[in-house]
């Protein structure tokens, strides 16, 4: 990016890969430079005061104190800049992110369900309709609780840990959790939101660069929290269609097992000791 990206890079932030991310980067960048300037300014002032008002030079306290208005003006300027940052940039950007969702037809809608300690992704499949979900149907072989009797769910795609999306198309995510509070964090896309059991939290972004990006959990959610990672693959439209086709074929074979097929290898029984997850 520009020379402005110095501090972000220094702090280890990965390069932005979303359409809105540069705005967030500019705010973070400016705040760091501003705080750096304040830190240097106040430190210099502190050292100046220590020397200027040392005891040897001022054996008797001056009860009247500072006579110039400089410090008041400086303080006021700092408050003004902070107010402009908050009211002029941060709040409008946040409002845009939470109020101005792209039209549903244009966007790709994905359900993301967090659980200790992985991410499940649920796409509507070729028919564009999500199948009904029910928390009571959740099992190891049915991680998002899809209703097998709902025809809309027959072609749905459910993946564990890996989500593919096409580049340059808005993605709307509806986020939930089966067990505790997690946080779906895409650092490269500059978005994060908490996954809360019983709630559907919407979030959106538009990826602008193809590539493979890391999904992490941003809330300490248990012993395996640090391993709660996933992968977001941003494909070209052709690659995305190929992936969809492959997953749809796989879903077709998985959703319609031959009658009487043994259910031992692929469908291990739920451990009875662990609490049953709820959406
Ligand atoms: Cu988590």
pLDDT digits (tens, 9 = 90+) for 222-248: 999 999 999 999 999 999 999 988 887
> Is 202 inside any structural domain?
yes
Tally of domains within the chain: 2
Q: Which residue has the tokens 């979030």?
A: 203
Q: Is the same domain home to 44 and 175?
A: no
Structure tokens at 91: 């709040």
Residue 262 Cα to ligand 1 middle (Å): 33
> Is 64 inside any structural domain?
no
Q: What are phi and psi of 74, to 5 degrees?
A: -60, -50
* Residue 50 CA: distances (Å) to CA of 45, 93, 154: 9, 42, 74
Q: Is the same domain home to 77 and 114?
A: no
Q: Which residue has the tokens 């559907």?
A: 200
Domain that holds residue 220: 108-255
Q: Is the same domain home to 87 and 132?
A: no
Euclidean distance between CA atoms 75 and 107, whole angstroms:
46
Q: What are phi and psi of 139, to 5 degrees?
A: -150, 180
Residue 170 Cα to ligand 1 middle (Å): 25
pLDDT per residue as tens digits for the range 19-68: 999 888 888 888 888 889 989 999 998 999 899 888 888 888 878 777 88
Q: Is the same domain home to 112 and 243?
A: yes
Q: Among 58, 152, 108, which Cα is nearest to 243's?
A: 108
Residue 130 Cα to ligand 1 middle (Å): 24
Residue 148 belongs to a domain with what CATH number?
A: 2.60.40.420
pTM: 0.76
Per-residue confidence (pLDDT) for residue 185, from 0 to 100: 96
Residue 202 Cα to ligand 1 middle (Å): 17
Residues with CB under 5 A from ligand 1 (ion): 182, 217, 221, 228
Region of poorest pLDDT, from 92-101, 118-127, 251-260: 251-260
H or E segment at 231? strand 229-235
C-alpha torsion angle, residues 14, 19, 25, 27 (rounded to 10): -160
């Amino acid at each position: 990016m520009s020379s402005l990206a110095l501090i972000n890079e220094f702090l280890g932030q990965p390069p932005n890969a979303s359409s809105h991310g540069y705005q967030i980067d500019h705010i973070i960048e400016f705040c760091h430079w501003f705080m750096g300037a304040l830190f240097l300014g106040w430190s210099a002032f502190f050292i100046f005061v220590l020397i200027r008002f040392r005891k040897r030079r001022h054996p008797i306290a001056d009860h009247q104190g500072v006579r110039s208005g400089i410090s008041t003006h400086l303080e006021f300027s700092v408050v003004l800049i902070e107010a402009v940052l908050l009211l002029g940039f941060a709040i409008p950007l946040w409002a845009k992110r939470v109020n101005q969702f792209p039209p549903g037809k244009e966007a790709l809608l994905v359900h993301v369900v967090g659980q200790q300690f992985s991410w499940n992704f649920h796409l509507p499949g070729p028919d564009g309709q999500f199948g009904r979900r029910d928390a009571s149907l959740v099992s190891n072989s049915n991680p998002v609780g899809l209703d097998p009797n709902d025809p809309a769910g027959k072609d749905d795609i459910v993946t564990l840990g890996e989500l593919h999306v096409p580049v340059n198309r808005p993605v709307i995510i509806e986020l939930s959790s089966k067990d505790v509070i997690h946080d779906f964090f895409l650092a490269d896309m500059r978005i994060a939101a908490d996954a809360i059991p019983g709630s559907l939290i919407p979030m959106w972004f538009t990826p602008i660069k193809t590539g493979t990006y890391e999904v992490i959990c941003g809330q300490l959610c248990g012993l395996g929290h640090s391993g709660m990672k996933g992968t977001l693959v941003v494909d070209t439209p052709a690659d995305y269609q190929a992936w969809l086709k492959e997953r749809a074929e796989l879903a077709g074979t998985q959703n319609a097992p031959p009658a009487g097929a043994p259910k031992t290898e692929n469908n291990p029984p739920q451990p009875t000791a662990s609490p049953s997850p709820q959406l």
